[in-house]
Structures are given as C-alpha cells and as structure tokens.
Chain A
Amino acid sequence: MTLFETVFSGNDAVYGLTEGAINAAIEQHGADKAVSFPNTAYCLPCYYAVTGVKVKTLGELKEALGVVKTLMTREMRLNDVFMSGVATALCAEFIEVLKYIDGAEPYTEPCYGHLADAVIRELGVPLVTGDIPGVAVILGSAPTKEEAVALVKSYQAQGILVTLVGGVIDQVAEAGMKTGANLRVIPLGKDVTSVIHVVSVALRAALIFGNVTPGDAANLMKYTFERVPAFVNAFAPLDDVIVACGAGAIALGFPVITNQEGVSTVPKSLILQPDVAKFNATSLEARDIKIKITNIDIPVAFASAFEGEIIRRG
C-alpha cells in the first residue's frame, strides 16, 4: 500500500468509529444533549479553529461530521492527504468530547486529557518568547522503558514541552519519573485519539496568540507551520490510524520522526530514525529548533522545566 493509501485507510477507519460513536450517543442521550470540553471558550477547539463553527449539542456534532466527510477527498494528491489528516484529527476530537458528556471525568492521574485554556495561556508566553523552544508529542511505546525515560528527559533538559500518548505513559510511570504540567511533561491519555488534546493546544495558540480568524484554515495551517515548533515522535508499530494522524500533524507543519522500518519517508516531514537515542537530535533538526545550551556541571538536572516543581516532604 502506498503512503497515501495508508492515510486514507486510517482516516476511513477513524471516521467509521466516530460515526458509530456519535450515533450511539444520540440514541442514548438524544440529539439535544449538550457536548463540551471543560474550561475552554472554544467549544470543540479544533473543529472551531478549522471551520469557525461552534458545536454545542450532539445533533450539531453529527452535522459537523458531515462537514468533516467533505474534507475526505480521495485524489492521489498531498492536499487530499493533508485534509484527510485534518479530518482524522477532527474525528478524534469528536470521539474525545463524547467522553466528557454530563461532566464526566474520563481522565485520571497521571493523564490530563483535555487541557484548559488557562494552561495554554500560561504556556503560550514562554512558547512565544522561545523559553519553551519546542513541543514534543511522543506517541506509542518506546522499545524499552529506559529509552522512553532517556528521551523524555533529554527534551525536558532542553526546556521542551513534552506530551505523551499511549504506552509511553506507563513506561515513564514504571520508571518512577515525575510528570505534570508544572514539569512540562504532560501525559495526555492512553488512547491514540487523546493526541488531539495537544493539537488543540496548537490550534488554540493560533487563535489566542496568532489572531487567526476561526475558519481560516489556510492561515491556521500557515501559523502552526511557521510559529508552533512542535514535532511528533511516533514509535513502531505504526498502524493506519497513527499514520493518518501523522498526516494531520504534517499538514500543520509538524514533522514526524519514527523508528518504524519500511515507512515511506518524506524529507523534513516523515523521517525514519531507527535509533531512538537519536530521536532528539533528529527531531530538533527536522523542526529547525536551535537550542543554545550552557552545560552547568551539577549533580542534578537543570532546566526551566523544573521551575514549577513541588518538593514534598519525605
């Protein structure tokens, strides 16, 4: 299967799941049931950013799915792949918002799930000033938990904001690593769809700090491409759904670095790096993130990421 076909197939799979989930929810709660993420002024932030439409009920969500379907064109052109990637992300957002019906709290420690606007405003300034030089999205399980921890710590030491999705969350937890927004290591969730919560950060940043008009998809993607220094580290094995999500990331300008052999590579966008130890250097170069580091020889880690750390007794 060609790379494009893989993306389309992953997108179709996610779309099918989303459609099923929304129909089931309507059956259970009725079309007028309210849907929303907590602590955000942007309703479904990704869908709102891309289309300019605020979704508030299940019925509207179903209509929105119809709009998403129109993004899923199937010509063998990158534009179609990009739009399918975006459609995949939007479907993920729909699946995620269903988890929050009736004020449910679907995510528990250490996972965050949806991030509140306040978190974005707090992280936004250091992102703009370059104090946070990049955003790493780590997806899947590293070959070993030692490699997972080493990778996360390497970013943390550079002041890069790290978000975790999937098996890597358990890997760092098992190793006893502290995580949390105050440490700039944010576990999002175990399902692949929870990756949308970091996409949501990037898109809300564009709306809040970039003054992008909601619905102006072209400028939205231009802003994230030029201004949001994010990148994705996706561990093997990659399934079609992850590849489809990756297409969405690349559409926003975020390169994907993977150790999945046999993947159809694209310069600066989809890079095969078999050696996880080199993920950090490869990713930073791919996203043109340049960090000047003055190494201070001290016996503990030192980075702005540790500024919010809470020292507990014992």
Chain B
Amino acid sequence: MSEFKLTTVEEFEAATARLLETGAKVGADAWQFRVKNQTPHCKFGEEGVCCRICTMGPCRITKKAPRGICGCDVHGIVGRNYLKFTAGGSATHSDHGREICHTLYESAADGCYKVKDPDKLIRIAKEWGIETEGKDIYDLAHEVAETGLMEYGKPFGTQRFLKRAPESQQELWEKNELAPRAIDREVSCSLHMSHMGCSSKPEALVKQAIRAGLSDGWGGSMMGTEFSDVLFGTPKPIETEANLGVMVEDNVNIVVHGHDPSLSEMICEFADDPEMIAYAKEQGAKGITVSGVCCTSNEVAMRRGIPMAGNFLQQENVVLTGACEAIVVDVQCIFPALGPLSKCFHTKFITTSPIAQMPDSEFIRFDAHTAGEKAKLIVRTAIENFKNRKPELVHIPQMKQKATVGYSTEAIVKALDGVTNSQVDELGTTKPLLECITSGVLRGAVAMVGCNNPRVRPDLAHIELMKKLVANDIIIIASGCSAQAAAKAGLMDKRAKDVCGAGLKRVCELADIPPVLHMGSCVDISRMLVLAATLAKDAGLHISQLPVVGCAPEWMSEKAVSIGNYVIGSGIDTFLGVDPYACGSSEMVEILTNGTKEWVEAAFTVEKDIEKLGDAMIAKIEEKRAALGI
C-alpha cells in the first residue's frame, strides 16, 4: 500500500514561513504583518456597539453612555449592524447569481457560452412551470434566464426555489414572515430598516436578516449554482490536487482567483488550447498550468479537475512563489494587497470586473460577449510574462495532496445508488444515507463551510474539527475555503478513510467516496440546502430534526453571515468559531443563540474554543438522534 499521511498545519506554516523569506528579500508586505499592525482591535467594533449610520455620531455604547444620540440602545445598534452585515453578504452572492443569469441569457449555440447540461435546464424550467416542449434549447435557456432575473426584482410573490424546501419549513417561513420576496428588495429593505430612525427592535432586525439570508440561499446563490451547472456542466466525481505544490516551475502559471466561473472557465478553455501551449513553448516554458484560489478554484476543480493552489489566506503565497505569471481575479475576497505585492515580482495582477477594481492592477474588462477574446488576451499576457521571471526568487513548496472532488447533490445521489441492492431498493434517492444514519453507522453529517480568519490559526480549526468529526463517524460535506483546507490536508483523498471511525470508514469503502465531500464553492452551499431538503423529505421529517449541523469555524466575510442566516433559517443549527460582532448586546445574543428557534427551529452556537466547538456539535447531533429514538 502506498504511504498516505495527512499534511499538518505546522507543515503549511513552515512552507509559508519559507515564502515570507522570499517576501522579505523583495520588501513585500503580507497579511501576517498587517494583522500585527491592527492588533489589538477596537473593542467597540468587536462587540458591535459602535454606530456610524448618521453624522450625529459616531456613537458608541458604554456603561456611562447607554444610548446613542438618537436614543437607540445597544440592542438596536448591534441588531442594525448585524442586519447590514447580512445585507452585504446577501448582495454579494446574489449579484454573482445575477451575473450567471446574464451569462445564461447570452448563451448561444455558436457563442462563447453554451448549454452543457440541457437536462438540468429542462428540469429547472419544468420546476418553474415554463413550457419546454418543442422549444430550441437556447430559446428555453433565455426564457429561464429571464425568469431567473425577474426573481431579483419582481414586485409580488416570493422566491420560486422555496418550493424545494419541505412543507414544514415553508409553513414556518410563511407564518413568521420570513419567506423572501424579490432578492434585491430584501437587500434594500435591510438597508432601509437599518437606516437612522427606522428599526431598532432586535427581533425585527434579526428576522429581516434571516429573510435577506434566505433570499441569498434559496435565491441568488441557488440560481448561481443551478445555472452554472447548466452552462458548465453538473459536477461529477473527479480527481485533482491541492496546495501550492500544484504549481509547476517549468510552466506558465496562471492563477484564477475570485468567484464567478464565467471567467475561470474561459481561462481554462484557452489554457488548454494547442495554439496557446505552442506559444508558451515558444516563450521558453514547457506548458501552461492553471490553478485556483478561493471559490473560483472550487468551481473549476469541481467541473474540470483544475488543481487548487490554496484558500483565502494563501492568496498572497501564490505570488510569493515567484512563479506566478498572472493572477487573474474577478470579484469577492480578493486582497487589494495583491496589487502592491505583484509589483515586487514579475506577476501580473489582472482585474476583470467593474465590480472589483483595484489600484496597481491591470484591468482587462471581461464580459459575456467578448469572453473568448478577453480570455485569450489574458492567457497570452501571462505567457508573454514568463520571460520576466526572476529565477532567484522562484520557490514552489513541494507540498500537495490528492483529492476527489465534484460531489454535487446529483453526484452524491449517484454514489448512493452504488450501495443499493437492486432486489430491494429504489434508485435516485437519499435513502441509503438515511439508513446509515438511522442505524447509527453514521451518527450524522456536518456541513463545514466558511473562510479563513487570522483570529483563528488558519486552517487549524477546519482540519482539526473535521478529523474529530470523522473519527466519530460523522460524514462531512464541505464547501469554500473549508473544503480547500480539507483538500490541502488530504482529507479528500479516499485513503483518508483510515482516519475515520469504523462506521464512516465502512461507508467510504462501500460507496467509494472520501470522508469529506467537496460540494463546491460558497454559492454551492445551496447544494447543501437541496440535499438537506431532500433528506428531510425522504425521511418524512423537518430539516431541523435531522442529525445535521452547519459549522463555520474560521468565518470572516459578510457572505458568511448571510450564509449562517439562511442555514439556521432553513432549520439547521449552526456553529461559529468567530463571534459575529454581536456579543455587546445580551438581547441579540439571546435571540441569535436561542430565540430564532421559535421561528425556524434552529439557532447559532458561538464557541471560540475549537475543542469545545467540536464537542458541542457532536452533542447536538446525539441530542437530535435521541429525540428521534435512533
């Protein structure tokens, strides 16, 4: 048997330390130093008790000054800040989803973008009551795209995809006025409510935060995922590799970073083009290697097996290797630091979206009409930059792990079909998974998501929690930077079954899956919602009754808060390793960790001690099992 060993966080850190030495030679800045400059952080900000939504302020709440100038108390201030935070996240995912809708609208038989999964398109059309018979697939694509775009601003009704949820959850949403209406409306309603002199009642603010979150999860994100599948194919299990060692020293290295697959898919397409490869050879390279960072990496890894260079806090490391010809970005989670950093090397920092414009970058505006020629230009620019490399600065840490990724909901159901018995079972359901859970072979499932955050030793919480959970026969579904942490560690290698408890190990062997299933990017958390909804429906339970919890141990962004809101909003208890700037208000803490149960049957748990966070998740899963008598 081949040697298999998980990569440790210490090894990650040693590799990073070596790269920072290169950085020191060229005078590069890095997040590690900027964190030091920002520490200690302002306590008022950390507790969420600072308000600057009007120019009477800024106000901050202390024992001596219990109210702001307008008279708002600490609960209202924390609540408004929380709602604004959510709205930012919801807007971000939703705008991403909107771009994908537009891309789908631009798709054409002879265009840059084609419909790669017509069956899925037809399925969605039928779900939405759009006539499919006898229609050209592109006419249908345009009609579905337009219907999707209307979801952002329709004056009446609620989100179409809500119907995918179990009825019990839909009833809760209706009863508590949580069913999201048009997506943009929920975002702007949130901003309206949190304006000076509007809502200052914590219950109302949290309810709107959940509604805005739900408009993301069951709206913007879900459309982003579904239409990405239609355009670029529904992910199927595929082999890939993760960590910086995927960059190849002799090749032109193009790193895609950001979120929207419309860009990264095109880059990958042209990097594979024989003409481009020939050009790269002409320039002295042996070939072209595209690797990814962050969610756009997850997208192309899931569909094309493009290797993953790293997650959020590794984005600077990519440049520090000295072997990155171009880092091509679109939107979200891109450090503006990449501009000045790239100037220390030969690296081209190429921004492409009007949404994310940054100093010290080369801006090549990318859009659906000109996608092909722009992608070609970008690849060509990277190739031409190969000769500018400074060989003395090149160091790629030889560290990578194999990973099997591509577990869309469809792929998971297919894997489950593999363990059915044709004499007794039906195909195409989640029942085999339910049987494993009911019998106790698997104790439950945890959805691990979220970012990196310097507040938590990067990747440590993700990896340690996953190791603890799999050892306790809890299967993990992961997305975003959490998934990449798992891949870098080796937890998505099928051989990682050996670090699991006997139950999960047996499941991995029989279903031929790794113990941590990569479900995609952050918008793909909508896949997890669909999976949870399907499990609940197949089991005849509420989602909240399933022994399933969500966890974001190293979360950082506004998007993560929006995600947290829609996950609890969908009935799944959620565990956070970083406080969402809410601890300054006892009322807000009470609502977020308990009060929301009344509306959605789930709530948050915040625990900064990773060991305790893991124990709390296992205890919650066992509590749900006990309640079901399984």
Which A residues have a C-beta under 8 Å from some C-beta of B? 2-4, 76-79, 81-82, 225, 264-273, 278, 281-282, 285-286
In the complex, the answer to whether A270 meets B439 with C-beta atoms within 8 Å is: yes
Does B413 count as interface, using CB distance less than 8 angstroms? no
**Which residues on B sit within 8 Å (CB–CB) of A267?**
416, 419-421, 425, 432, 435-436, 510
> Which chain B residue lies CB-closest to A270?
B439
B477-510 contacts to A, CB under 8 A, are 501-503, 506, 509-510
Closest-CB distance, B475 to chain A (whole angstroms):
12
Does B226 count as interface, using CB distance less than 8 angstroms? no
In the complex, the answer to whether A77 meets B502 with C-beta atoms within 8 Å is: yes
In the complex, the answer to whether B424 meets A273 with C-beta atoms within 8 Å is: yes
> Which chain A residue lies CB-closest to B423?
A282
Which 4 pairs of residues, A with B, have the shortest CB-CB distance? A78-B503, A79-B502, A282-B423, A267-B419
Cβ 8 A contact of B423, one of A82, A264, A265, A273: A273
**Which residues on B sit within 8 Å (CB–CB) of A79?**
501-503
In the complex, the answer to whether B506 meets A269 with C-beta atoms within 8 Å is: yes
**Which residues on A sit within 8 Å (CB–CB) of B472?**
77
> Which chain B residue lies CB-closest to A281?
B423
In the complex, the answer to whether B473 meets A265 with C-beta atoms within 8 Å is: no
Closest-CB distance, A219 to chain B (whole angstroms):
11
Supply 9 further A-B pairs (C-beta < 8 A) apart from A81-B440, A264-B440. Answer: A77-B443, A77-B501, A79-B501, A82-B502, A264-B435, A266-B441, A267-B416, A267-B425, A268-B419
**Which residues on A sit within 8 Å (CB–CB) of B473?**
77-78
Closest-CB distance, B350 to chain A (whole angstroms):
48
Does B71 count as interface, using CB distance less than 8 angstroms? no
Q: How large, as a class, is the contact surface on chain B?
A: 20 to 34
Cβ 8 A contact of B439, one of A3, A82, A225: A3
In the complex, the answer to whether A78 meets B424 with C-beta atoms within 8 Å is: no
Closest-CB distance, B413 to chain A (whole angstroms):
13
Closest-CB distance, A97 to chain B (whole angstroms):
28
In the complex, the answer to whether A266 meets B436 with C-beta atoms within 8 Å is: yes
* Complex Cα spacing A286 to B422, Å: 9
* Complex Cα spacing A134 to B138, Å: 53
**Which residues on B sit within 8 Å (CB–CB) of A76?**
440, 443, 622
Closest-CB distance, B625 to chain A (whole angstroms):
8
In the complex, the answer to whether A265 meets B435 with C-beta atoms within 8 Å is: yes
Closest-CB distance, A1 to chain B (whole angstroms):
9
In the complex, the answer to whether A286 meets B441 with C-beta atoms within 8 Å is: no
Closest-CB distance, B214 to chain A (whole angstroms):
33
* Complex Cα spacing A81 to B443, Å: 13
In the complex, the answer to whether A286 meets B421 with C-beta atoms within 8 Å is: yes
**Which residues on B sit within 8 Å (CB–CB) of A278?**
423-424
Which B residues have a C-beta under 8 Å from some C-beta of A? 416, 419-425, 432, 435-436, 438-441, 443, 472-473, 501-503, 506, 509-510, 622, 629-630
Count how many pairs of residues, one from A and one from B, have CB atoms less than 8 Å apart in the complex: 73
> Which chain A residue lies CB-closest to B432?
A267
**Which residues on A sit within 8 Å (CB–CB) of B424?**
271-273, 278, 282
In the complex, the answer to whether B502 meets A266 with C-beta atoms within 8 Å is: no
**Which residues on A sit within 8 Å (CB–CB) of B432?**
267
In the complex, the answer to whether A285 meets B440 with C-beta atoms within 8 Å is: no
* Complex Cα spacing A273 to B420, Å: 13
**Which residues on A sit within 8 Å (CB–CB) of B425?**
267
* Complex Cα spacing A81 to B424, Å: 25
* Complex Cα spacing A82 to B506, Å: 11
Closest-CB distance, B423 to chain A (whole angstroms):
4
In the complex, the answer to whether B421 meets A282 with C-beta atoms within 8 Å is: yes
* Complex Cα spacing A81 to B510, Å: 18
**Which residues on A sit within 8 Å (CB–CB) of B630?**
2
**Which residues on B sit within 8 Å (CB–CB) of A270?**
439
**Which residues on B sit within 8 Å (CB–CB) of A281?**
423
* Complex Cα spacing A95 to B629, Å: 34
Closest-CB distance, A251 to chain B (whole angstroms):
8
In the complex, the answer to whether A271 meets B439 with C-beta atoms within 8 Å is: no
**Which residues on A sit within 8 Å (CB–CB) of B436?**
266-267
**Which residues on A sit within 8 Å (CB–CB) of B443?**
76-77
**Which residues on B sit within 8 Å (CB–CB) of A266?**
435-436, 439, 441
> Which chain B residue lies CB-closest to A282?
B423
In the complex, the answer to whether A268 meets B503 with C-beta atoms within 8 Å is: no
**Which residues on A sit within 8 Å (CB–CB) of B421?**
267-268, 271, 273, 282, 285-286
Cβ 8 A contact of A78, one of B420, B441, B622, B629: B441
Closest-CB distance, B424 to chain A (whole angstroms):
6
* Complex Cα spacing A273 to B421, Å: 10
In the complex, the answer to whether A264 meets B439 with C-beta atoms within 8 Å is: yes
Once A78-B503, A265-B435, A267-B432 are accepted as A-B contacts, the answer to whether A2 and B440 lie under 8 Å apart by CB is: yes
**Which residues on B sit within 8 Å (CB–CB) of A78?**
440-441, 473, 501-503, 506
Query: Taking each of A268, A271, A281, A285, which has the highest tally of chain B beta carbons within 10 Å of its own beta carbon?
Result: A268
Closest-CB distance, A136 to chain B (whole angstroms):
15
* Complex Cα spacing A270 to B472, Å: 21
* Complex Cα spacing A136 to B630, Å: 30
> Which chain A residue lies CB-closest to B420?
A267
Query: Taking each of B473, B506, B630, which has the highest tally of chain A beta carbons within 10 Å of its own beta carbon?
Result: B506
Closest-CB distance, A99 to chain B (whole angstroms):
32
**Which residues on B sit within 8 Å (CB–CB) of A225?**
509
Cβ 8 A contact of B503, one of A77, A265, A272, A285: A77
> Which chain B residue lies CB-closest to A275?
B423
**Which residues on B sit within 8 Å (CB–CB) of A82?**
502
* Complex Cα spacing A267 to B622, Å: 21
> Which chain A residue lies CB-closest to B419?
A267
* Complex Cα spacing A307 to B68, Å: 95
Query: Taking each of A269, A281, A286, which has the highest tally of chain B beta carbons within 10 Å of its own beta carbon?
Result: A269
* Complex Cα spacing A285 to B510, Å: 13
> Which chain A residue lies CB-closest to B510?
A268
**Which residues on B sit within 8 Å (CB–CB) of A265?**
435, 439
Would you give 11 A-B contacts (Cβ < 8 Å), ordered by A? A3-B439, A4-B439, A4-B440, A77-B473, A267-B435, A269-B510, A271-B421, A273-B423, A281-B423, A282-B421, A285-B421
Cβ 8 A contact of B629, one of A2, A81, A271, A286: A2
Query: Taking each of B416, B440, B629, which has the highest tally of chain A beta carbons within 10 Å of its own beta carbon?
Result: B440
> Which chain A residue lies CB-closest to B425?
A267
* Complex Cα spacing A82 to B439, Å: 13
In the complex, the answer to whether B506 meets A285 with C-beta atoms within 8 Å is: no
**Which residues on B sit within 8 Å (CB–CB) of A2?**
439-440, 629-630
Closest-CB distance, A85 to chain B (whole angstroms):
11
* Complex Cα spacing A282 to B502, Å: 24
Closest-CB distance, A314 to chain B (whole angstroms):
42
> Which chain B residue lies CB-closest to A278?
B423
> Which chain B residue lies CB-closest to A80?
B502
In the complex, the answer to whether B419 meets A285 with C-beta atoms within 8 Å is: no
* Complex Cα spacing A78 to B440, Å: 7
**Which residues on A sit within 8 Å (CB–CB) of B510?**
267-269
